Amino acid sequence: MDFSNFKSYEKAVLAYIKSDKPDLVVTDLHPLYNSTILGEELSKKLKIPHLKVQHHLAHIFSAIGDDALLRPSIFNFPPAIYGIAMDGTGYGLDGNIWGGEVFKCQMSKLKCQIRSVERIGSLEEQTMIGGDLAVREPARMVITILTKLKIENEKLKMKNKNAIVIKTNDDIYHYVKKYYNRNEFELLYNQLEQDFNCQKTTSTGRILDAVSVLLGFAGNKRNFKHEATKLLEKNSTVPYGDIEPKLAHSGSRTVLDTTHLFEYLLENIQKDKKRLAATAQLYVAKGLYEIVRTDLNTEYYIRNAYLAGGIANSQIISKYFANKDVYLSKNIPRGDEGIAFGQLSYLLYDKTKKPYPMLAG
């Protein structure tokens, strides 16, 4: 929300509370959002609770609320429901940037309440060089991921003698030299190596942005939200079927290896890039779905799962999940336009009204 829009929003909120004092304030979890700061101020001034709902939980509960509007019987929840968030940026409880998440919500069926929420899976953590600058310059994510592959170059060479092997900084620079001169690249590389002003992320948006740059569909400038990802989708055709999700474990969380995706892309970089674009999107979708399926320990379709977030609008991704009977919102927007509804939906199910959502992992 830009500042002028925020001031209009603030004026409307202050006008409302003059005539009707609220029982509590609900905002995003991000401590630096203007709306969160306003919520803190109102909570103290009015002496009412302040519930901060994690961004991707709000996305998931917007889909759950959408489902409840269409099918009131959904209020008879199964013991556990799953939420998959595919998004660009959202502040996580660990202080990192989330955006490729799998949540498991334990529900109390009789009282229709949340008993607990656990983050059971995510994409592999990658590094945003310069934090938010990596959103505006997606080639920074390419540098990050290819640097990981540099460490594994012998494995890559063994798998395919004709594969493009990342051995040196020159090999990494080859893929970003149209965006940075050599000095700029070395500065970014050193910044990554020293972990200076860097931010960890599990964002789907950052991964697909990097794929779009690597394959040549996007440049290194963001003109509008999800630009690189939308260009990737626009240039996608039929995916290849020769890569399966690679899962690992990080503590109690199951993680989809996204570096493995880039290893595959480099091995096949001479192939049809439009097919590779589709393959990359499908890899992430299949991987997040596999995390849910593994947790359920079932080979069958999952009928108690929801997909939300701005990237859930991708046709390749949404079609894949729809074919798996994962619910996608029909009326409420899947992106940030549906966040406020998702926060309220979460509020309806969280009867505790605790300051933070009941989220573990």
Phi, psi of 53 (to 5 degrees): -105, 125
29 and 154 assigned to the same domain: no
Q: How many domains does the chain have?
A: 2
121 and 270 assigned to the same domain: yes
63, part of any domain: no
pLDDT tier, 165 (very low <50, low <70, confident <90, very high otherwise) = confident
pLDDT tier, 352 (very low <50, low <70, confident <90, very high otherwise) = low
321, part of any domain: yes
Mean pLDDT of 217-225: 91
pLDDT in tens, 7-20: 898 999 999 888 88
350, part of any domain: no
pLDDT in tens, 115-150: 888 999 999 999 999 999 999 999 999 999 999 998
In the prediction, which pLDDT does 161 show?
A: 56
125 and 233 assigned to the same domain: yes
In the prediction, which pLDDT does 361 show?
A: 46
In the prediction, which pLDDT does 193 show?
A: 95
pLDDT at 160 over 60: no
204 and 87 assigned to the same domain: yes
163 and 246 assigned to the same domain: yes
128 and 30 assigned to the same domain: no
* Tally of CB atoms within 10 A around 133: 13
Alpha carbon distance 27, 89 (integer Å)? 16
pLDDT in tens, 244-293: 999 999 888 999 999 999 999 999 999 999 999 999 999 999 999 999 99
CATH of the domain at 282: 3.30.420.40
262 and 302 assigned to the same domain: yes
Range of the domain at 278: 79-333
345, part of any domain: no
115 and 230 assigned to the same domain: yes
324, part of any domain: yes
pLDDT in tens, 298-343: 665 567 899 999 999 999 999 999 999 999 999 999 999 999 999 9
pTM assigned to the model? 0.91
105, part of any domain: yes
In the prediction, which pLDDT does 243 show?
A: 96
Q: For all residues of the chain together, what is the average pLDDT? A: 89
28 and 169 assigned to the same domain: no
359, part of any domain: no
* Tally of CB atoms within 10 A around 130: 18
170, part of any domain: yes
107 and 47 assigned to the same domain: no
State percent of the chain over pLDDT 90. 70
Residue with tokens 């609770």: 49
11 and 101 assigned to the same domain: no
185 and 39 assigned to the same domain: no
